[in-house]
Amino acid sequence: QGSLGRLEDLSVWVAACQGACPPRPFTRARVVVFAGDHGVAAAGVSAYPTEVTAQMLANFEAGGAAINLLAEVAGATVRVADIAVDVAEPLSPSIGKHKVRRGSGNIAVEDALSAEEVHAALQAGRQIADDEVDAGADLLIAGDMGIGNTTPATTLIAALTDSEPVAVVGRGTGVDDAGWARKTAAIRDALYRSRTAAGDPVGLLRICGGADVAAMAGFCAQAAVRRTPVLLDGLV
C-alpha cells in the first residue's frame, strides 16, 4: 500500500491531528495511566484480587512496571492518576488529585456511577489532557489499570456495536472457563440494565462503564479539542 507501509498511514494521521503537513516530530510524549477498581470484580470476573490495582499503581510510580520501561525506550514520561482505586488514601496528593470515588459500582447489579460522578470523571480526564498539553505534551498516550476493568470495557463495546457478549468477551487477565462464564453473565446483566441508554454515550459510561473509563473518554475528547494526537495503550 505504498513504500512506507503502515508508517505512511501513521504520518497521515499525525498530520491530520496537528493540522500540519509534513507533521512535526514528537518531542514530548506523555503516558497517562488512569486507574480504578470495579465492583464487578466481586462477581469473579478476574483471575486477580482487587488489591493488585493499588500494588500496581505503586509499581508504576516507582518506575518498575513494563510501561515505565517502554516509555523510557520511547523517550516518553509516565503519569499515574487514581480516579477510582478502592483505597482510602491515594499514594500521593498528586496521584489522587482527580479521584472521583473508591471503586465503581458493580455494573451487573447497579450503576457504575451517579450522574454527578460520571461528569466529574469526564471533567477529570479533560483537565488532565489540558494540563499535559499546557505543559508541552505533543503526543498523549492513555492507558488503564484496574482489576475487573475489561468487563465494563467489553460491556461498552457490546452496547455500542449491538453485539452478543459471547462474541466480544475475552479472557482478560487469563480467567479459566468458569471465570469466563461468570464474566459473560455479568456483561449480559449489565447490558440488560443499560438497554435504556442506547445512543447516550454518557449514560452508558454512567450505567455500565466506570470512573476510569469515563476519565479516559474525557481525556481523548479534550485531546481532540486541543489538536493533540492521542493513542489508546489498552491495559498497561
pLDDT, one tens digit per residue, over 178-227 is 989 999 999 999 999 999 998 899 999 999 999 999 999 999 999 999 98
- Which letter does DSSP use for residue 186 in this model? H
**Angle at the Cα of 107 (from 104 to 109), degrees rounded to 5?**
120
List Cα–Cα distances, 178 to 47, 48, 165, in angstroms. 11, 14, 15
Residue 29's region, left for phi above 0, alpha for psi from -120 to 50, else beta, is beta
pLDDT at residue 2 tops 70 = no
Do 218 and 126 form a contact (C-beta atoms < 8 A)? yes
What burial class does residue 147 get, using C-beta atoms within 10 Å of its C-beta: 0-12 exposed, 13-18 middle, 19+ buried?
buried
Report helix, strand or coil for 142. Answer: strand
Nearest to 91 by CA among 121, 114, 61: 61
At 234, the pLDDT band (50, 70, 90 cuts) reads low
User: pTM for the full model?
Assistant: 0.92
> Beta partners for 32?
79, 142
Q: What's residue 236's pLDDT?
A: 35
Rounded-to-integer distance, Cα 59 and Cα 53, Å: 10
pLDDT at residue 1 tops 80 = no
Rounded-to-integer distance, Cα 118 and Cα 188, Å: 22
- Measured in residues, the chain has a length of 236
**Residue 234, amino acid:** G
Beta strands 77-84 and 29-36 are parallel
Task: Give tens-digit pLDDT for 33-75.
Answer: 999 999 999 999 998 999 999 999 999 999 999 999 999 998 9
- Which letter does DSSP use for residue 138 in this model? S
Report helix, strand or coil for 170. Answer: coil
List Cα–Cα distances, 97 to 28, 69, 101, 178, 184, in angstroms. 23, 25, 12, 38, 34
Do 117 and 124 form a contact (C-beta atoms < 8 A)? no
C-alpha dihedral, 106 to 31 to 71 to 224, nearest 10°: 120
